[in-house]
Amino acid sequence: MRIETASENSLIVYLGDSTSPETSERVQQASTKLAAALGDKLIDQVASYASLLVIFDPLRCDQLEIRAIIKQTLSELGDTKKASDTPSTIIELPVYYSEESGPELKLISEHSGLSIEEIIAIHQSMTYRVYAIGFAPGFAFLGEVDERIAMARLTTPRLKVPRGAVGIADRQTAVYPDVSPGGWNLIGLCPTRMFNPDADPTMPVSVGDEVRFKAITKEAFIELGGELGEYK
């Protein structure tokens, strides 16, 4: 474990050197323990692949006090069980896979030698862990994608990706929570809102959750509130 200063009222706690389900589990356990230990001294925590950003109230404590609490609280964190041995929330996200909704399906097919049907089957056969949420509210980085369908980001990102677009970048997959620029390889559309400020909770997934994708028809996609949008 390593603790470094991020700002005058935040610290980053590093809990591993690489991305893995075990490291992600350590991050989640650390977050739970620190939330209980810090109480009203804590403003927020932001979990990532192998680290935890701890934002504290400078009117209630200082960095030295927070560092001491973190060290004491996490000193007995120890080795965690593998994520597969630890109960977690599984969220199923519907996806309309097609060349209409996933313009890079053909590109991935040409790169991998697999048919579009095989790519879709492989993508929805995996269970993905939410490693981090960032880039935009509700943008969950999910891993790991089967190496047979892994693809590098597009050389030239799009100026406009529709809300709900499901993409692949290297060994990660994600759902775009809103219309935005983006360089991921798009393979389908998901009607589920990944971020809704008026909902409680505002996001359907949290770091540490597991996600599975399920293919649906275009008609089901529309019925669930999905919109085809534009790709530019």
Compute the distance between CA of residue 27 and CA of residue 152 in angstroms, rounded to an integer.
27
Compute the distance between CA of residue 190 and CA of residue 216 in angstroms, rounded to an integer.
9
Instruction: Please give the average pLDDT of every successive group of 10 residues along the chain, which has 232 residues.
Output: 93 85 84 92 88 92 94 77 57 97 97 98 96 90 96 95 97 96 97 94 92 98 94 86
What 3-state class would DSSP assign to 126? Answer: coil
Tokens at 106, concatenated: 């053909």
Q: Which residues lie across from 53 on neighbouring strands?
A: 12, 46
User: What pLDDT is recorded for position 87?
Assistant: 57
User: What pLDDT is recorded for position 232?
Assistant: 84
User: What pLDDT is recorded for position 32?
Assistant: 87
What 3-state class would DSSP assign to 13? Answer: strand
Q: Which residues lie across from 14 on neighbouring strands?
A: 2, 51
Domain 2-85 and domain 90-223 have a common topology: no
Nearby residues of 99 by Cβ (< 8 Å), 6 or more positions away: 105, 106, 116
Domain 2-85 falls in which CATH fold?
Gyrase A; domain 2 (3.30.1360)
Tokens 């559309």 belong to residue: 189
Contact between 45 and 56 (Cβ < 8 Å):
no
CATH superfamily of 90-223: Cyclophilin-like (2.40.100.10)
Compute the distance between CA of residue 226 and CA of residue 208 in angstroms, rounded to an integer.
26
**Residue spans per domain, the chain:** 2-85, 90-223
User: What pLDDT is recorded for position 142?
Assistant: 96
User: What pLDDT is recorded for position 83?
Assistant: 41
Contact between 69 and 42 (Cβ < 8 Å):
no
Question: Residue 219: phi, psi to the nearest 5?
Answer: -65, -45
Q: Which residues lie across from 11 on neighbouring strands?
A: 5, 54
Q: Which amino acid does the sequence have at 29?
A: Q
Q: Which residues lie across from 45 on neighbouring strands?
A: 54
Bond into 144 cis (ω within 30) = yes
Give 75's DSSP letter. T
- 0.85 exceeded by pTM: no
